[in-house]
Amino acid sequence: MSNMPLFEVFVRSKRGLDHTHCGSLHAENAEQALEYARDVYTRRSEGVSIWVVKASDVTASQESDRDSFYDPMDDKPYRHATHYVLPDEVNNM
């Protein structure tokens, strides 16, 4: 028996919230993956909407490139609110 493709499963637990990754499963196609995901990941009404994505279609950043990939953001403290020192009276801004 050869492998069925792998799908990543994302579930939105409630309207108004993001879909969050919750696991993966094997299925022959996307429709089947959706049904399996319903059976496995929402047995107790954990979701109101499910996305399934073929794992091979996901492009991921490389952990080993982390330094060069995220470095440019590390030396920009002025992007954070705490960088600005204001008088106490108005500091709840």
Token code pair at residue 80: 């954070």
Contact 34, 52 (CB under 8 A): yes
Using CA atoms, how far apart are residues 19 and 60, in angstroms rounded to an integer? 18
Span near other proteins by CB under 8 A; candidates 12-20, 27-35, 73-81, 83-91? 27-35
Q: Is 23 in the site for other proteins (CB under 8 A)?
A: yes
Q: Between 62 and 92, whose beta carbon lies closer to other proteins?
A: 62
Q: Which residue, among 43, 37, 50, has the nearest Cα to 6 in the 3D structure? A: 37
Among 12, 13, 19, 22, binds other proteins (CB under 8 A): 22
Q: Is 11 in the site for other proteins (CB under 8 A)?
A: no
Among 19, 24, 34, 51, binds other proteins (CB under 8 A): 24
The neighbour count for residue 69, using CB atoms within 10 Å, is 12
Residue at token pair 């008088």 = 87
Which residues sit at the interface with other proteins, rule CB under 8 A? 1-4, 6, 22-26, 28-29, 32, 39-40, 43-44, 60, 62-64
